[in-house]
A and B are shown apart, each in its own frame.
Chain A
Amino acid sequence: MSSSAEQGTKSLLDRIGTKRMLHAYVVGVAFLEGGVLAAALGDGRVAFIGSENANAPRFVSVHDGVCLSLAVDLGGERVLTGGDDGRLVSTDTAGETTAISAIDGRWVEPIAVSMASGLRAAGFGKTVCLFARDGSAVGTFVHPNTVGGLAFDPKGRRLATAHYGGASLWWAKAGGQQPKRLAWSGSHLSLTLSPDGKDIVTAMQENELHGWRVSDGADMRMSGYPAKVRSMSWLPKGRFLATSGAEPVVCWPFHGKGGPMGKAPLDLGWGVDGVVTVVAAHPRHDVVAAGYEDGATILVQIDRPHPVLVKQPGEGAVTALAWSADGQHLALGTESGFIGRVRLSDWRAPT
């Protein structure tokens, strides 16, 4: 191979990034206040990686088993993780852990945090519990089936949950309520709410998305995926919903009348082979980071279908992607335990 060809395909990670191998499935990554990167791992540990590459990560054993989920906890300086040991735990970068809840024999998989209302939600099988800032349980919502995904609305006043047969919409602080049921037959595996709180979208067992307009419950079907959609991410202002599960990055238009209905999605990232496993939209710009089943990772812009290579293939499927709140740092993790981190502040997309 010629050196110019190598130059041409050199990834951002090779040029301006840092890499680590943690040797455990990366379940999730997230940036905390102060630039510390947190990674939840398949061996039950959480790794905190400082912005200085020379420092070794701090590993904290959090779950007796697998970390199943990761979110930035209230205040932005801790992580909240759910595990297959039935525990919901808040951990700080010094390694101090606080168990918020533990239900023996249950898996804690879907979790969500609302900075706006100071609430955390976690699914323990069919039951979703809400916890206040001090850790006290302030709500319990029981469903007919296991809850696969959940999300707060922008103000953190309502909570949407996905399960077999559809989605449910609850008021976060009301007792004894009946939820608003959004019915659609089939198994709904995960859920996202648009940034304006007006649309709910679930990913289904049947390789498709289902959406509801919250105001009138109108249905939206988004199908045609060759694989399950495991990851969904809203572009700024909720104009597009970027999704995994296909070869290009599929972005459904939610701006304009009728949302995505009757419109074709944007396909981004042509020229990259394999199925997209994770997507993460930039917090400010119309840019999507996408990870693939072969470990490749790209950045792609809405109006420029040709991608920029962030990571070469290898190290197993990409399982986690996250932007820092200011959009200057991107982190990724793979199923074999690779962690990559790129600082994009000096980088400009080629025009």
Chain B
Amino acid sequence: MNQIPVTVLTGYLGAGKTTLLNRILTEQHGKKYAVVVNEFGEIGIDNDLVVNADEEVFEMNNGCICCTVRGDLIRILGGLMKRQGSFDGILIETTGLADPAPVAQTFFVDEDVRRRTWLDSIVTVVDARHVVQRLEDSHEALEQIAFADVILLNKTDLVSADELAQVERRIRSINATAIIHRTQRCEVDLAAVLGRRAFDLDRILAIEPNFLSEDDHEHDDAVKSVCLRTDRPLDGARLTGWLQRMLAERGQDLLRTKGILSIAGQDKQFVVQAVHMLMEGNFTKPWDPNENRESRLVFIGRNIDGTELRQQFDACIA
């Protein structure tokens, strides 16, 4: 049975998420999507593959408050998989007030979901006018940006060029690795949003990490990115030991962790990704013998200290 790609669509109320959803469902792109929505009737078109979700967030039995999954989603994805071959992908819309972690963690935790689907990307629609204010008063708005693989910075026509640059800088300070598209009315090539394999993390290698300016003001609940890199190979055992310890101890503060790492004595790239304390690490494709085997690791989270992480990362160099 083929694995189906899943795109998660998040965004604060009024940012333009429904506009994007309607575009994906009405435009001719040769693909059919099953859509999991939280409110029927919000999308204006008739599609027999629209499913209403309850957003039932369940704690897992390990007693940890950050280890949650979407119970309704596990059920819905199981049901959709019985409609063989009738769609090419799945879109999951979350409410504006939803924390994306339980959705993302569902794809780590549930074996049936993992076997049948893969999380292609988390797309967050952001209102350029209001996002800075939202970030001050909404925990969820912050998490939605922190979790994103792709960000549509929407309604750019309603702000000045200076304001836009400022907004983008603020977003970047939270999430260093997301691809940002500036849009009006969510007008973006849908190929930039769908079928990205963003969770594969290849593009971390393309990130320019020097954008974080030192004078960014710190917020009480500041979420930021720390990007680490090295040209020297890493000791596999030390690295995984450190990551496991980090995620077990600090997992509630660490929203997302992603990395492509060069392990001493290994020809293949070691790709790591985590949501809170749930981690997945695999050797994937071989390093190109002509390329520089540069390891990159990004932490997005709260209360994280770049200097301390850098020291611990360096201690893993073989």
List A residues at the B interface (Cβ < 8 Å).
24-25, 27, 42-43, 64-66, 68, 84, 104-107, 109, 125-126, 145-146, 148, 164, 185-187, 204-206, 227-228, 316, 335-336
**Docked-complex contact A125 and B71, CB < 8 angstroms:** no
Point out the residue from A42, A106, A204, A205 that lies within 8 Å of B82, measured CB to CB.
A42
B140 part of interface (Cβ distance < 8 Å): no
**Docked-complex contact A185 and B59, CB < 8 angstroms:** yes
| With A145-B71, A146-B75, A164-B71: A66-B83 Cβ-Cβ less than 8 Å | yes
B39 to chain A, nearest CB (A): 10
B1 part of interface (Cβ distance < 8 Å): yes
**Docked-complex contact B79 and A335, CB < 8 angstroms:** no
List chain A residues, Cβ under 8 A from B80: 66
B26 to chain A, nearest CB (A): 21
List chain B residues, Cβ under 8 A from A227: 111
Point out the residue from A43, A126, A185, A186 that lies within 8 Å of B83, measured CB to CB.
A43
Complex CA distance for A228 and B59, rounded to whole angstroms? 17
**Docked-complex contact B61 and A145, CB < 8 angstroms:** no
**Docked-complex contact B74 and A125, CB < 8 angstroms:** no
**Docked-complex contact B1 and A316, CB < 8 angstroms:** yes
B290 part of interface (Cβ distance < 8 Å): no
| With A164-B58, A185-B59: A27-B82 Cβ-Cβ less than 8 Å | yes
| With A42-B82, A84-B51: A146-B71 Cβ-Cβ less than 8 Å | yes
B54 part of interface (Cβ distance < 8 Å): yes
Pairs of residues from A and B, 9 with the lowest C-beta to C-beta distance, nearest first:
A42-B82, A25-B82, A186-B61, A105-B52, A66-B82, A206-B61, A187-B58, A105-B40, A187-B71
**Docked-complex contact B56 and A66, CB < 8 angstroms:** no
B218 part of interface (Cβ distance < 8 Å): no
Point out the residue from A64, A145, A164 that lies within 8 Å of B48, measured CB to CB.
A64
List chain B residues, Cβ under 8 A from A84: 51, 79
List chain A residues, Cβ under 8 A from B56: 145-146, 164
Jot down 16 A-B pairs with beta carbons below 8 A, ordered by A: A27-B82, A65-B48, A66-B80, A84-B79, A104-B40, A105-B52, A109-B75, A146-B72, A148-B75, A164-B71, A186-B60, A204-B61, A205-B58, A205-B61, A205-B74, A316-B1
Closest to A185 in B: B61
A145 to chain B, nearest CB (A): 6
B33 to chain A, nearest CB (A): 15
Complex CA distance for A149 and B81, rounded to whole angstroms? 19
B84 part of interface (Cβ distance < 8 Å): yes
**Docked-complex contact A107 and B1, CB < 8 angstroms:** no
B136 part of interface (Cβ distance < 8 Å): no
Complex CA distance for A27 and B80, rounded to whole angstroms? 12
Complex CA distance for A262 and B71, rounded to whole angstroms? 31
B112 part of interface (Cβ distance < 8 Å): yes
B138 to chain A, nearest CB (A): 26
A319 to chain B, nearest CB (A): 9
B88 part of interface (Cβ distance < 8 Å): no
- Which residues of B47-85 have CB atoms within 8 Å of chain A's CB atoms? 48, 51-52, 54, 56, 58-61, 69, 71-72, 74-76, 79-84
| With A105-B40, A227-B111: A68-B79 Cβ-Cβ less than 8 Å | yes
| With A145-B71, A185-B59: A205-B83 Cβ-Cβ less than 8 Å | no
**Docked-complex contact A206 and B60, CB < 8 angstroms:** yes
List chain B residues, Cβ under 8 A from A107: 51, 75-76, 79
List chain A residues, Cβ under 8 A from B51: 84, 107
**Docked-complex contact B110 and A125, CB < 8 angstroms:** no
Q: Which of A104, A125, A187, A335 has the most CB of B within 10 A?
A: A187
Given A68-B82, A185-B61, A206-B60, output 14 extra A-B contacts at Cβ < 8 Å. A65-B48, A65-B83, A66-B79, A66-B82, A84-B51, A109-B75, A109-B79, A125-B54, A185-B59, A186-B60, A186-B61, A187-B69, A205-B58, A335-B84
Complex CA distance for A43 and B83, rounded to whole angstroms? 6
Closest to B109 in A: A205
List chain B residues, Cβ under 8 A from A145: 56, 71
Q: Which of A84, A125, A164, A316 has the most CB of B within 10 A?
A: A84
Point out the residue from B59, B60, B74, B84 that lies within 8 Å of A42, measured CB to CB.
B84
**Docked-complex contact B1 and A335, CB < 8 angstroms:** yes
List chain B residues, Cβ under 8 A from A186: 58, 60-61
List chain B residues, Cβ under 8 A from A125: 54
List chain A residues, Cβ under 8 A from B72: 146
Closest to A145 in B: B56
Complex CA distance for A64 and B60, rounded to whole angstroms? 34
A9 to chain B, nearest CB (A): 25
**Docked-complex contact B84 and A205, CB < 8 angstroms:** no
List chain A residues, Cβ under 8 A from B76: 107
- Which residues of B86-116 have CB atoms within 8 Å of chain A's CB atoms? 110-112
Complex CA distance for A149 and B56, rounded to whole angstroms? 16
**Docked-complex contact A228 and B1, CB < 8 angstroms:** no
List chain A residues, Cβ under 8 A from B83: 25, 42-43, 65-66
Q: Which of B56, B58, B82 has the most CB of A within 10 A?
A: B82
List chain B residues, Cβ under 8 A from A185: 59, 61
Closest to B72 in A: A146
Complex CA distance for A204 and B74, rounded to whole angstroms? 13
Complex CA distance for A57 and B48, rounded to whole angstroms? 27
| With A109-B75, A145-B71, A206-B60: A24-B52 Cβ-Cβ less than 8 Å | no
Closest to A67 in B: B82
**Docked-complex contact B112 and A228, CB < 8 angstroms:** yes
